[in-house]
Amino acid sequence: MILGKVRVQTSINGEAVEFLCSPWQSLLEVLREDLGLTGAKEGCNNGNCGACNVLIDGVLVNSCLVLAAEVAGKAVTTIEGLATPDGLHPLQQAFLEHAALQCGFCTPGVLMAARALLEVNPHPSEEEIRHWMAGTLCRCTGYDKIVRAVLAAASVVEEVKR
Amino acid sequence: MHPFDYRLARSVDEVIATLASDGDRARVLCGGTDLLVQLREGRRSVDLVVDIKQIAELNALEYTPDDGLRLGAAVPCYKIAGDSTIARVYPGLVEAVGLIGGVQIQGRASVGGNLCNASPAADSIPALIVHRAVCAIAGPDGWRNLPVEQFCIAPGRTALRPGEILVAVLVPTPPPRSGAAYLRFTPRNEMDIAVAGAGAAVTLDPTGATFVSARVALGAVAPTPLLVQAAGDALIGRAVSEAALDEAAHLAQAAARPIDDVRGTVEQRIHLAGVLTRRALVRAIARARVSM
């Protein structure tokens, strides 16, 4: 049996999006290959590294383990949706100031994970950050500056909210 | 990877009909965190995945003191851990669920999927066993219940018959003065498969010094998660003591029949079965006493 395409209506970074995909294609593949959203990266393609992290209805997931067809009717958030027209997100600013990236390959996934953490836990401890980020790997930095940047951003995010 | 079709199912009956007609060329898709990996690696091949995540009965997350917990098979782990009532009544279960994969995996994976994937090392299953959980199964011949400890029959294989699906897991309300815990050993902090795991549940007498009942289950040390009946039975009526814990730990070790593989040796796993059983019992006892 030869399979046709699935038509998917979804929302990405607040924008209504419609695309065609093969039933077996992952969300990661469709984001990168068909929608031009190359921020999410393929690090392992099996849910181990977090380079493909996105939010689906606000929940942090590996986009390599989601079929593109499964996001019909959902709200997807990618790294491209982190900054606003007003400027960088405090996390992005903190990552620059604290040199929390080197090659940058993991950085979109790291930022999405950090963003999701601050949504559920606005004042994480270092241990809580490391535990939450354990499914998001970085080969370059050794994680120390990433953790410091997240701690710094957490206090800024609180300021902004106040 | 063999191309496959995707279908979103709207009802339990539709899933049963699809599985009955497509035989073993169709498979249920829930969180996808096991299935999609297996399909990509060629360990499984299907023509169709059936998405069950929008079926109401599979998304039940209901607790009453009289009826216990009804946990729909499709409920993602993060919803279980995030429910304050469930965290209060079933800390041992929430503890196990919180160890599955990591944050991103728990955003998609379900306890139902953890059961149906039937890994010998599945983290939720020893915890479910010690809680006396029951699987609610629907199929072409109707509904049936099956104790969790009978659900996995071999690595990657369950007791589900053709056309059957797991709809929910029913977890009784723990009796007063009860506590449960699950621990495992892994080399990484997260995102690892248990080298060995142990679940324990105890109920104490009103003084908190004697076991009224106890249940021990092991993971990753046999082809399926194991209920170690002897270890729990040995504690009934005994005083809570180092000697009692030692005996339960030794009985757990005697029941373990692990293999050597990349994650650990037979010797290490048997050793861990004893250590983890003891620690799980200690934690369960502490939780039982705190609840008093």
Confidence label for A161 from pLDDT (cuts 50, 70 and 90): low
pLDDT tens, residue by residue, B93-107: 999 999 999 999 999
Give the gap in angstroms from C-alpha B191 to the nearest C-alpha of chain A. Answer: 6
| Half-sphere exposure (Cβ direction) of B260: Cα atoms closer than 13 Å | 2
* Cα–Cα distance list, B52 to A127, B14, B17, B56, B167 (Å): 36, 10, 13, 9, 10
Distance, CA of A126 to CA of A106 (rounded, Å)? 19
Instruction: Decide if pLDDT at A139 tops 60.
Output: yes
Determine which of A62, A64, A106 to mutate to test the interface with B (most B C-beta atoms within 10 Å). Answer: A62
Give which of B149, B156, B154 is closest to B201, Cα–Cα: B149
Q: Average pLDDT over chain A, rounded to whole?
A: 96
State whether residue B43 sits within 8 Å of chain A by CB: no
Q: CB A151: neighbour CB atoms within 10 A?
A: 16
Average confidence (pLDDT) over B19-33: 93
Return the residue in B83, B103, B193 with the most chain A beta carbons within 10 A, the one to mutate for interface testing.
Answer: B103
Report phi then psi at A100, rounded to 5: -90, 20
- Residue A162, pLDDT > 70, answer no
End-to-end Cα separation, chain A, in angstroms? 58
Residues of B in Cβ contact (< 8 Å) with A65: 31-33, 36-37, 105, 108
Residue B158 CA neighbour count, 13 Å, CB half: 24
Give the pLDDT of residue B124. 98
Residue A3 has pLDDT above 70, yes or no: yes
The fraction of chain A above a pLDDT of 90, given in percent, is 94
pLDDT for B50 equals 98
Average of per-residue pLDDT across B166-189: 95
**Sequence letter at residue B94:** V
Average pLDDT over residues A84-105: 97
Q: Do B103 and A46 touch (CB under 8 A)?
A: no
Cβ contact A53–B32 (<8 Å): no
Q: In this structure, how many other beta carbons lie within 10 angstroms of the beta carbon of residue A52? A: 31
Cβ-based neighbour number of residue A38 at 10 Å: 13
Enumerate residues 32 to 71 of chain A having a beta carbon within 8 A of any beta carbon in chain B: 45-48, 50, 53, 56, 59-62, 64-67, 69-70
pLDDT at residue A1 is higher than 80: no
CA B61 to CA B74: how far, in whole Å?
10
pLDDT (mean) for A15-41: 98
pLDDT tens for B120-133 read 999 999 999 999 99
Taking an 8 Å cut-off on Cβ atoms, the answer to whether B32 and A70 are in contact is: yes
Mean pLDDT across chain B? 97
